[in-house]
Amino acid sequence: MKKGMNWLLLLGVVVLAVLPLLFIKDSEFGGADGAAEEAIKEIAPNYEPWFQPFIEPPGGETESLLFAVQAALGAGVVGYAVGVFKGRTEKGKK
């Protein structure tokens, strides 16, 4: 039962992360990428990007959401690893 609940919670998190991507259009959020792009245009107006994105997100906030999801996944992996090593240490002491 506990394992099934974990999968349900994970599914809920994924749904909550994906739904805004599908339904919120034309959202804008000024971040570091936009500021860097403007600074490059000022310094080198003839600069050509090396490549173009494969998929254009529906709004500006989408990048922030994806970055937050990436950060959360990374924190989860690090937290899991710390927990595993802590558990091994505690088990070794017994």
Domain segments of the chain as ranges? 58-94
pTM to 2 decimal places: 0.44
> How would you write the pLDDT of the chain (94 residues) with one tens digit per residue?
677 888 899 999 989 888 877 787 776 656 677 788 889 999 998 988 888 878 777 776 777 788 889 999 999 999 999 999 988 888 887 7
Q: Are 35 and 68 in contact, with CB atoms under 8 Å apart?
A: no
